Amino acid sequence: MTLFDSHAHCDDARYSSEYEGGTDKLIKDCFESGVANIINIGTCLESSKVSIELAHKYDGMYASCGIHPCECKSKNELEAIIDELEILLKDEKAVAIGEIGLDYHWQDVPKDIQILYFERQMALAEKLNMPVIIHDREAHGDCLEIIKRFPRVKGVFHSFSGSPEMATELVKLGWYISFSGTVTFKNARVPKEACRVVPEDRLLIETDSPYLCPTPHRGELNRPSYVFFTCEEIARQRDSDVEHIAEITYQNAKRLFNIN
Ligand code: NI
């Protein structure tokens, strides 16, 4: 079975203190246990740089570079940050801009600044003709409104938390939908319903490691190899088999991120 974890933060500090051997051991363990590819996701300039370094160190690893809504700086710093981001994105192993988007759960960064950084990075995606990875937490309406203003930009809504209706609307607009460990949680009625309506050619899976550890490991430190449990639950929900879901999500990720 070939698994593709489309969203992980293997450089997270928790791996150095809580995973025996740290980030490098974690990545090696995951590649040895059936994960073929991992996209390491940047959330700021620093973690975007680290993502590129990791991608050069491991064949199966790719990088996404972007400014997370909770990591936005001031309005004045925006253009300098975009310039640096653009240089990083020219790297041959940078496959997407992300994670970018809106987070209305944590109010550390004012909404208007989040929106400004999101729109600017969507414009950059349009300019560079690259896919984007969207973080949408409790901001479904505004995220939809913004992506519709950039019809040439496509990508994926990561760790999808919207309704089946929203998933259907995104698919119609040409987007992919990625499900994380939350779909395995017992009371996750809405994500379970949503994962049933996404067409086969638009489905992705991810861990969002070290967060969102799936059942039966809930509460532990998550790792890319646990993407298997999300794959298994989606197969169950769709009356499919785990090998088939692994294969289609692998092919979809390769297509979206232009990986040969
Ligand atoms: Ni993430």
Residues 231/34, Cβ–Cβ less than 8 Å: no
- Tens of pLDDT, residues 76-99: 999 999 999 999 999 999 999 999
Q: What is the pLDDT of residue 107?
A: 80
Cα 205 to middle of ligand 1, angstroms? 13
Amino acid at 79: E
Q: Are 55 and 24 in contact (CB under 8 A)?
A: no
The CA 99 to ligand 1 mean position distance, Å, reads 7
Q: If you measure from the C-alpha of residue 208 to the centroid of ligand 1, how many angstroms do you get, rounded to a whole number?
A: 5
Predicted local distance difference test score (pLDDT) of residue 184: 98
Position 106 scores a pLDDT of: 87
Residues 6+ apart with CB under 8 A from 80: none
pLDDT tens digit sequence for 12-62:
999 999 999 999 999 999 999 999 999 999 999 999 999 999 999 999 999
Distance (angstroms) between ligand 1 centre and the Cα of 76 equals: 25
> If you measure from the C-alpha of residue 197 to the centroid of ligand 1, how many angstroms do you get, rounded to a whole number?
23
CB atoms within 10 A of CB 165: 11
* Ligand 1: centre distance to CA 48 (Å): 12
Residue found by looking up tokens 């990075």 in the block: 121
Cα 65–chain centre separation = 11
Q: Supply the pTM of this predicted model.
A: 0.97
Q: What percent of the chain has pLDDT over 90?
A: 98
For residues 181 and 220, give the distance between their C-alpha atoms in angstroms, rounded to a whole number: 12
* 49 within 8 A of 88, measured Cβ to Cβ: yes
Give the largest CA-CA distance in the chain: 51
DSSP letters, 45-100, are HHHHHHHHHHHHH-TTEEEEE---GGG---TTTHHHHHHHHHHHHTSTTEEEEEEE
Q: How far is the centre of ligand 1, averaged over its atoms, from the C-alpha of 8 (Å)? A: 6
Q: Which two tokens stand for residue 203?
A: 């489905």
The alpha carbon of 148 and the centre of ligand 1 are apart by a number of angstroms equal to: 22
pLDDT value at residue 22: 97
Dist. CA 112 → ligand 1 center (Å): 21
The share of the chain scoring above pLDDT 70, in percent, equals 100
Q: How far does residue 114's CA lie from ligand 1's centre (Å)? A: 16
202 closest CA partner among 233, 161, 245: 245
Distance CA 182, CA 189 (A): 10
Structure tokens at 79: 């253009």
124-151 pLDDT, tens per residue? 999 999 999 999 999 999 999 999 999 9
Q: pLDDT digits over 157-212, tens only? A: 999 999 999 999 999 999 999 999 999 999 999 999 999 999 999 999 999 999 99
